Amino acid sequence: MNFLNGLTRREALMRAGVAVASLPVLMTLPARAQVKVDINKPGDFQPITIAIPDLLGDAQLGKQIVGVISANLQRCGYFNVLPQQAYLDKITSIDTAPNFANWRTINAQMLAVGTIARGGQGLIAQYRLFDVLTGEQRDGKQFTTTAENWRRLAHILADAIYSATTGLGGYFDSRIAFVDEAGSKQKRSKRIAVMDQDGANLRYLTADGSLVLTPRFSPQNNQLAYMQFGGDEPRVFLLDMQSGARQNLGSFPGISFAPRFSPDGARVVMSIINQDGNSSIATMDLGSRNLSRLTSGPQIDTGASFAPDGSRIVFESDRGGGQQLYVMGAGGGTPQRISFGQGRYSTPVWSPRGDLIAFTKQAAGQFALGVMRPDGQGERILTTDYHAEGPTFAPNGQVILFFKEKGPGPRLYSIDVTGRFEQMVPSPNFASDPAWGPLLA
Amino acid sequence: MSLSTTLNRGFRIALALAGALTLAACANTNQDQAAAGRATPGSSQDFVVNVGDRVFFTVDATDVTPEGRTTLDRQATWLRQYPRYTFTIEGHADERGTREYNIALGARRAASVRDYLISRGIEASRMRTISYGKERPVAVCNDDSCWNQNRRAVTALNNAGS
């Protein structure tokens, strides 16, 4: 079931229907100052200029794919994709050296070229990424997949360019689950939707007219855990994203809410409201359905999130008075408080990279999104607004999705962990409670 | 004493109706205001209009206020008088909190009301509690003039039609 563990992304890609192979290096020139970026270094940041001519071969598909790649790279904030009208050179083959002087003239630092062909098996794409200043080939790959996967192919190509240039893991080949909102604020209808991270391929997974909250991806990318109202008590459910089948995970007394999967997918951590009205944290083993209570006492403990190695859990608690962040072992034990700033801290989520915990912070009548290291040091506020809430990390730990609520309804926003690039994520209706899924692999 | 209570109560009902009117304007609910004054004793309308079905809370607080206790005392009297009703206590929070915390906060508010009604002799078996967090505001605005209406616990009669 958990076949991704122990496999490289390349092997996993082949199983998922996209096969990848390396292309031979076209040439090696003596390395001069190559394009080297440290995105996370504080200070001024200049986006990397990149030229991406339409892929050779199938002209229509080549244009579509480059459109998706360019939109991804431009939106992430780290790239400035140069407009094709400015290109002086015409690429006629990806197996001969480009005329780098012509690309230097238009101030391109990087150049991505490729081909796309429809074959008997589906699509075959080849691509090479060059450092224009040195003439060095930075990456070269071949991908084969089925025709209906062309958008995923474009996302995978964008991830390859992004990773080879920044040294970071990719995230474009991933999906977002969120809550689609309709109707008046007093009687909102909420349903779970899922779409590609760029807003394409939107699909609704629960019926209209319901009230569902906080969908969270399984690490296997095939299930969502979420809270659903209706029946006698609101509860945590599991939803199979392919079949739509639901399972009640909260078939015990008390409201259950705020679910998240463990990194191995074997357990779901959630909050349970006790008879006395207080909230505590428990994990449910998905195999045995045994519940282990990790906290107890006259307080509100909620918003639990596992560290990526599964060893610890971060959560919010008002045990010391106001809402603050605490870390405890995945099996319980004495929690250590990690947040000490002015204000209330909530909705902590551990980065898949392990280096940061993102949170919502309320202070001085405003909401803010911030990050701190798991030991509580290095707190940085990324953005402040009238209402901003509910961070979720991209698979590479570099971008955070959250929602802002102003005026008639909420919208999704993304911001990178440097805080430099914030923008709205398009959604057809009001949208809240985003969850960023793993790489589709 | 009895006159001032009546006056106070009249004032409170007027306030409640004003709130309901505002709501009706926002939410297009079709509450029949005229009928409310002549509610049949023992009806759910009687409970809502003449007793008061909700209590309000201060920011991030879960203790029942002195005003809330007065309302709950009336609820307890009425619920003892009409033992055929079971009811659900719905806890709610305003929008100025995060989603998960507000679910927990609403649950505490509902539990506060439950505990108070039990202390006034209402059987625990007649009541259940639920929290809607910030999911079901009754008033929508950008300041505390309506957030304070949303920080509430509502005693909803379950078998009101029977």
Q: Where are the beta strands (DSSP E) in A197-329?
A: 203-204, 212-217, 223-228, 235-240, 246-248, 256-261, 267-273, 279-285, 291-293, 301-306, 312-317, 324-329
Q: Do B140 and A346 touch (CB under 8 A)?
A: no
Q: Write B81-86 long-range contacts (CB < 8 A, 24+).
A: B81/B42, B82/B42, B83/B126, B84/B159, B84/B162, B85/B126, B85/B157, B85/B158, B85/B159, B85/B160, B86/B126, B86/B127, B86/B128, B86/B157, B86/B158, B86/B159
User: Domain check: are A187 and A107 in the same one?
Assistant: no
Position A3 in a domain: no
Q: Of A139, A166, A193, which marks where a domain is finished? A: A166
Domain count, chain A: 2
Using the Cβ of B63 and the Cβ atoms of chain A, whether some distance falls under 8 Å is answered with no
B86 close to A (CB below 8 A): no
Taking CA–CA distances from B96, the nearest residue in chain A reads A387
Q: What is the pLDDT of residues B21-59, one digit of tens each?
A: 343 333 334 444 545 557 899 999 999 999 999 999 999
Residue B24: predicted pLDDT: 36
Structure confidence at residue A10 (pLDDT): 45
Higher pLDDT, B160 or B135: B135
Question: Quick check: ipTM above 0.85?
Answer: yes
Task: Look at residue A11 and tell me if it is in a domain.
Answer: no
Residue A1 covered by a domain: no
Whether A212 and A249 share a structural domain? yes
Check which CATH number belongs to the domain holding A124 and give it: 3.40.50.10070
Full residue range of the structural domain in which residue A335 is found? 176-439
Query: What is the mean pLDDT of the segment spanning B119-139?
Result: 96
The model's pLDDT over B88-97, given as tens digits with 9 standing for 90+, comes to 999 999 999 9
Distances (CA, A) of A303 to A35, B56, B104: 41, 26, 11
Regarding whether A338 and A258 lie in a shared domain, the answer is yes
Is B129 within 8 Å of A277 when comparing Cβ atoms?
yes
Instruction: Looking at the structure, tell me whether residues A348 and A428 fall in a common domain.
Output: yes
Give contacts of B108 with chain A, Cβ < 8 Å: 277-278, 300
Examine the domain organization and report whether A77 and A182 are in the same domain.
Answer: no
Is the Cβ pair B108, A277 closer than 8 Å? yes
Q: State whether B100 and A405 contact (CB < 8 Å).
A: no
Task: Establish if A17 belongs to a structural domain.
Answer: no
Give the pLDDT confidence score for residue A45 in this predicted structure. Answer: 84
A114 and A226, same domain (yes or no): no
Q: Does B101 touch chain A (CB under 8 A)?
A: yes
Clarify whether residues A150 and A231 are in a common domain. no
- In this complex, is the C-beta atom of B72 within 8 Å of any C-beta atom belonging to chain A? no
How much is the pLDDT for B117?
Answer: 98
Nearest by CB: A389 against B27, B98, B131: B98
Tokens of A155: 């996302």
Contact: A214, B96; criterion CB under 8 Å = no
* Residue A24 counted as domain residue: no
Contact residues, chain B, for A278 at CB < 8 Å? 104, 108
CB-nearest partner of B99 from A214, A255, A279: A214
Interface check for A184 against chain B (CB to CB < 8 A): the answer is yes
State residue B20's pLDDT score. Answer: 39
Domain edge (last residue) among A166, A187, A204? A166
**Is A234 within 8 Å of chain B by CB?**
yes
Task: Report the DSSP beta bridge partners of residue A329.
Answer: A312, A332
Write down which residue in A100, A132, A166 finishes a domain. Answer: A166
Looking at residue B161, what is its pLDDT?
59
Q: Is the domain of A194 the same as that of A340?
A: yes
Residue A233 sits in a domain whose CATH number is 2.120.10.30
In order along its 441 residues, chain A shows pLDDT tens digits of 222 233 344 444 544 567 777 777 765 454 555 666 777 777 778 899 999 999 999 999 999 999 999 999 999 999 999 999 999 999 999 999 999 999 999 999 999 999 999 987 799 999 999 999 999 999 999 999 998 999 999 999 999 999 999 999 999 999 999 999 998 888 889 999 999 999 999 999 998 778 999 999 999 999 999 999 987 889 999 999 999 999 999 889 999 999 999 999 999 999 999 999 999 999 999 999 999 999 999 999 999 999 999 999 999 999 999 999 999 999 999 999 999 999 999 999 999 999 999 999 999 999 999 999 999 999 999 999 999 999 999 999 999 999 999 878 999 999 999 999 999 999 999 999 999 999 997
Query: For residue A280, is it within any domain?
Result: yes
* Distance to chain A for B115, nearest Cα, Å: 9
Claim to verify: residue A144 and residue A286 sit in the same structural domain = no
* pLDDT value of position A207: 87
- What confidence score (pLDDT) does residue B108 get? 97
My answer on whether A246 and A210 are in the same domain is: yes
- Same domain? For A274 and A347 the reply is yes
Say whether residue B103 is in contact with chain A using an 8 A CB cutoff: yes
Q: Considering the entire predicted model, what is its pTM?
A: 0.89
Cα A280 from Cα A277, distance rounded (Å): 10
Per-residue pLDDT for B109 more than 70?
Answer: yes
Question: All domains of chain B, ordered by start, with CATH?
Answer: 5-157 (3.30.1330.60)
